[in-house]
Amino acid sequence: MRLAELNRADRTDAQAAFSQCCTATRWIRKMTDDRPYATLQALQEHARQVWRSMGREDYLEAFDGHPKIGDPESLREKYRRTLNTASGEQHAVIGAPEAVLDGLARYNRLYETRFGFIFIVHASGKSAQEMLDIMKSRIDNDPDTEIRIAAEEQARITAKRINGLFLPPAAP
């Protein structure tokens, strides 16, 4: 896709494109309504501004659009809309040692019980062990701090996914 195509896309197609980046409904609507964007940099800056204007319910809706770190069933079943991007972002989990996968599953449960939402981390480039270590380091945060950190991580994920909308397709 090219930026010009996104700018002239009908509302439904533009919303579908933005939903590949973030699943918060208000964010998708605002990004769609505020077209056209002059450059990818302008689009990215606007995406950050719109995200900063969102509230807790928007954050939770976006977080719900993610599979749990290290949970292959979650990758396959619950989040079909972002399956390709999410599975690529979490590719380091594939083949991780069983002990690390067990730790991810255990800490995912603890985290969700403590905070009421799934663990969010910009997983690209991180090993399964690194993600587990990050989760462990954040489990004792107070809820206000943790939602703020998770929202920042979501913004990084969204930025990467926006860039991915405009990358040329991979060669066969």
Residue 36: asked if its preceding bond is cis (omega within 30°), the reply is: yes
Q: Where are the domains of the chain?
A: 69-144
80-119: pLDDT as tens digits: 444 445 445 555 566 778 899 899 999 999 999 999 999 9
pLDDT > 70: what percent of the chain?
A: 83
Mean pLDDT of the chain: 88
69-144 CATH: 1.10.3330.10
* pLDDT value for 90: 54
CB atoms within 10 A of CB 126: 18
pLDDT > 90: what percent of the chain?
A: 72
Q: Which residues are catalytic?
A: 66
SS3 (DSSP) at 169: coil
* pLDDT value for 98: 87
Q: What is the DSSP string of 58-116?
A: HHHHHHHTSPPTT-HHIIIIITGGGHHHHHHHTGGGTT--HHHHHHHHHHHHHHHHHHS
55-78: pLDDT as tens digits: 999 999 999 998 888 765 654 443
pLDDT at residue 134 above 80? yes
